[in-house]
């Protein structure tokens, strides 16, 4: 048995295309993910430059702008003509006009202009309240303005488990799930190479004086070990090179990845045993993992939440979503009950796929070879 496993592993390692899809492609995709939005959660934004033109005194609006100056805005008092020129030159993103009914002028529709418009709308919605406070209790005006303009300091994205939440992590969780299920390429190849209808190697193995169960078991062990090693190398690349924080119990992370790798190889073996053309088999090994990972949030991080709200059963039977959610529970959420449920479902799915794949590969029979 050990000799069969060793020989099969050497044979798999020589298949460059299998190694590319199992290891090379996920690493390339991880690099592209990191380059595209890996630092979105840590990026800081500079204060938005804006001009203030005082037409007539408005105490409430003036205090409101002072609260924002230095924390979100970088304000400069200017004459009207000077402010217009600065806006045209791009020196400032907008002009606040202080008067009885203050207003804002912007020259574009970018992020900074949108934020300025939101701040102006926030003041307009609360203008009557602020003016009443300024008239009746002027000493309370600073506190009211701070409550209105300082909301950003009271919110932080965090999980219920107490860890800071970064939505970008969901893409990498789904990427790990995709890497696990790209084992379908390897599983389909193992199955085809045991099928005399598809390959000369399959014909030779079919008449070899070795029990079919022994060959199938050796193939599944060798394939799973190789693919699991590829997933481990991807994890090492994410943690050591890209500095993605996959905090949590390392043993549990390895267990999740092992179950995912075995599921991917088994699913591929089942596809390879199907009585369909080889070209259609290849198409299925590409489409099925992509669909599963799309539903797990690989292309859109909010997809899993949308499904959870509308069709929660789909998340329970999608193994890629189970892998992604188990990693989320372990790294971010810290919910032992939810993690245990996801692991149990994933293990059951893995067991069912593996048993079915082994039975299908073992029962291949031929009238003649």
Q: What is the DSSP letter of 369?
A: -
pLDDT in the model for residue 365: 56
Mean pLDDT value across residues 28-57: 80
Residue where a domain stops, chosen among 154, 175, 203: 154
Q: With respect to residue 186, please indicate whether it lies within any of the assigned structural domains.
A: yes
Does residue 320 sit in the same domain as residue 240?
A: yes
Residue with the larger pLDDT of the pair 41 and 325: 325
User: What φ, ψ does residue 98 adopt, rounded to 5°?
Assistant: -90, 115
Which segment, 48-57, 64-73, 122-131, is predicted with the most confidence on average? Answer: 48-57
Residue 369 lies in a domain: no
Q: Are 65 and 269 in contact (CB under 8 A)?
A: no
* pTM (2 d.p.): 0.67
Distance CA 284, CA 157 (A): 39
Residue 118 is part of a domain; what is its CATH number?
A: 3.40.190
Number of compact structural domains in the chain: 2
Output the average pLDDT for the chain: 82
Any domain includes 367: no
More confident residue, 115 or 159: 115
Average pLDDT over residues 139-164: 54
Q: What is the largest CA-CA distance in the chain?
A: 100
pLDDT at residue 161 is higher than 60: no
Tokens (6 digits) for 185: 């390429």
In this structure, the answer to whether residues 117 and 247 fall within a common structural domain is no
Report if residue 90 sits inside a domain. yes
Of 5, 18, 25, 24, the closest CA to residue 265 belongs to 18
pLDDT value of position 367: 47
Final residue before a domain boundary, out of 154, 175, 198: 154
State whether 33 and 171 are in the same domain: yes
Tokens found for residue 309: 């709200």
Assign 368 a pLDDT band (cuts: 50, 70, 90): very low
- Shared domain for 148 and 218, answered yes or no, is no
Question: What confidence tens digit (pLDDT) does each residue in 286-307 have?
Answer: 999 999 999 998 888 778 888 9
Going by C-alpha positions, the residue among 348, 319, 325, 57 that lies closest to residue 170 is 325
336 and 289 part of one domain? yes
- Owner of token pair 């909301």: 151
3-class DSSP state of 110: coil
Q: Say whether both 303 and 267 belong to one domain.
A: yes
Looking at the domain assignment, is residue 104 inside a domain?
Answer: yes
Whether 52 and 34 share a structural domain: no
**Domain of residue 177, residue span:** 2-39+166-362
Looking at the structure, tell me whether residues 171 and 269 fall in a common domain. Answer: yes
Ranked by mean pLDDT, which of 131-135, 207-211, 307-311, 359-363 comes out on top?
307-311
270 and 304 both lie in a single domain: yes
**Residue 364: pLDDT band by 50, 70, 90 thresholds?**
low
Confirm if 231 and 256 have CB atoms less than 8 A apart: no
Alpha helices per DSSP H over 237-362: 250-273, 278-295, 303-310, 312-317, 319-328, 336-362
Collapsed DSSP state (helix, strand, coil) of residue 95:
strand
Same domain, 100 and 192: no
Among residues 128, 154, 180, the one where a domain terminates is 154
Residue 305 has what pLDDT? 84
Is residue 161 included in any domain, yes or no? no
Q: Which of 34-48, 197-211, 229-243 ranks highest by mean pLDDT?
A: 229-243
Q: Is residue 32 part of a domain?
A: yes
Residue 299 in domain: yes
Highest mean pLDDT among 106-120, 252-266, 273-287: 252-266
More confident residue, 277 or 306: 306
How far CA 294 is from CA of 76, 306, 310, 319, in Å, comes to 48, 12, 16, 12
Q: Tell me the percentage of the chain whose pLDDT exceeds 70.
A: 82
């Amino acid at each position: 048995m050990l000799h069969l496993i060793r020989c099969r592993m050497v044979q798999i390692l020589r298949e460059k295309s299998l190694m590319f899809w199992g290891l090379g492609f996920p690493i390339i995709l991880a690099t592209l993910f990191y380059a595209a939005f890996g630092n979105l959660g840590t990026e800081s934004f500079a204060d938005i430059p804006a001009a203030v033109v005082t037409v007539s005194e408005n105490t409430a609006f003036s205090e409101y702008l002072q609260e924002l100056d230095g924390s979100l805005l970088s304000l400069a008092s200017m004459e009207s003509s000077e402010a217009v020129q600065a806006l045209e030159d791009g020196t400032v993103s907008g002009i606040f006009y202080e008067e009885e009914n203050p207003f804002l002028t912007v020259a574009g529709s970018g992020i900074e202009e949108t934020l300025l418009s939101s701040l102006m709308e926030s003041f307009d919605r609360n203008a009557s309240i602020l003016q009443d406070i300024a008239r009746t209790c002027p000493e309370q005006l600073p506190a009211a303005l701070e409550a209105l303009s300082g909301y950003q300091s009271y919110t932080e994205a965090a999980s219920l488990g107490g860890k800071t939440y970064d939505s970008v992590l969901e893409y990498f969780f789904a990427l790990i799930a995709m890497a696990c299920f790209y084992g379908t390429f390897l599983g389909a190849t193992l199955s085809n190479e045991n099928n005399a209808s598809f390959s000369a190697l399959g014909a030779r193995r079919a008449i070899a004086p070795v029990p079919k169960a022994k060959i199938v078991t050796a193939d599944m062990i060798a394939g799973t070990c190789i693919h699991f090693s590829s997933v481990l190398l991807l994890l090492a690349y994410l943690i050591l090179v890209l500095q993605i924080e996959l905090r949590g119990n390392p043993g549990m992370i390895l267990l999740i990845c092992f179950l995912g790798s075995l599921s991917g190889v088994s699913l591929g073996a089942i596809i390879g045993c199907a009585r369909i053309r080889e070209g259609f088999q290849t198409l299925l090994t590409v489409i099925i993992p992509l669909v599963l990972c799309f539903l797990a949030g690989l292309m859109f991080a909010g997809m899993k939440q949308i499904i959870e709200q509308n069709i929660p059963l789909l998340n329970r039977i999608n193994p890629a979503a189970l892998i992604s959610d188990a990693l989320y529970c372990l790294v971010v959420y810290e919910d032992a009950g939810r993690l245990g449920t996801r692991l149990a479902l994933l293990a059951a799915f893995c067991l069912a796929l593996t048993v079915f794949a082994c039975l299908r590969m073992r029962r291949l029979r031929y009238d003649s070879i």
